[in-house]
Structure 1
Amino acid sequence: MATEADAAEPESPHPRRKLRLLPWTGTEAKPCFLITDDEGGHVSRLADIAEEVQLEMGAHLLAHAADMLTNATEDQLRFLAERLTEALRDSLRIAESRKERPCGIQERSRR
């Protein structure tokens, strides 16, 4: 008869390897993951850059939104709402990814 200890996940032969949620989606808008370690690699660095660009674009969009709200047409507001939705989705994906990473990786991505 199996016990809970038997059902536990086996230890990975590569304990430093982690799954990282990437800041973009794959086909059919499904999440993309990267198997990485504390050192990172080329794709990790590209993901760090993509995260920074997405966050900067979201900040610029938010500032632009505040400026245009008083005189915007219905079409402009609809377009703005769509872009703000995209920016929020990107920001939430980045936040989810960063909460899963050790602090050292988070700090390196901000450089």
Structure 2
Amino acid sequence: MDQQEFLEQKVFVDFKNLNENYENDKIHQFSEQDFESVLQKVAYFGIGVYTIEAFLNGVSYGVSNHESHHKKATDANWYKKAFLNFKKGESGLVYSATYKVSNKLLAR
């Protein structure tokens, strides 16, 4: 199983992908409520999150990454804080992220 398959089968399975161009770029976008649940699943599996990007009306609203928070990608504190900051700033955002699933997790 590769990383994309793992994410789609174990993490994204219960949530609606709002990205209309999914076939072209393979990036999943989620509503605020769904993304919060995605982050909970990511934390449960110990998956790394490199970046979070928020969109408002299809236009990038902001990007946050683990390096700017001086945290490891697998540290849930950074992405929970980044998500909370986006939520406070604007309602109705759509979210995407880049992930890293460890080889150990893929081998299960």
- Normalised by the length of structure 1, the TM-score is 0.24
Higher relative contact order (CA 8 A, sep 6+): 2
Larger Rg belongs to: 1
- Structure with the higher helix share, 1 or 2: 1
